[in-house]
Amino acid sequence: MRLVEVLLLRRIAMKKRPITLVGTVQKLIERSLLKEKPYVHLAFAGADYLYDSLRIPNTHGWEEGRDVEITIRLL
């Protein structure tokens, strides 16, 4: 099998439905020195150790302690 065929098969295998996660905002991370938008640290109950948290830009103005729902989809 050629490399191109292998890569195409992997790409097809990666096309899955979006994943919706429910979590809690653990911490607000200010990025004022870098002049970037603040980030939020989200925690997900019941997830494995390596996947139990995520940091994303706080474009929605979330506050600490708030329960949130995010959807992740592959592009």
What are the pLDDT digits (tens) for 13-71? 556 677 888 899 999 988 777 677 889 999 988 777 777 888 989 988 899 999 999 88
Residue with the bigger pLDDT between 8 and 68: it is 68
Distance of alpha carbon 21 from alpha carbon 61, whole angstroms: 18
CB contact set of 63 (below 8 Å; sequence gap of 6+): 25, 28
CATH 3.90.550 assigned to domain 17-72? The reply is no
SS (H, E, C) 3-45: HHHHHHHHHHHHCCCCEEEEEEEEEEECCHHHCCCCEEEEECC
**Domain map (residue ranges) of the chain:** 17-72
pLDDT value, residue 21: 84
Enter the tokens of residue 37. Answer: 């938008």
pLDDT value, residue 27: 92
pLDDT value, residue 65: 93
Enter the tokens of residue 1. Answer: 């099998």
Model confidence band, residue 2 (pLDDT cutoffs 50, 70, 90): low
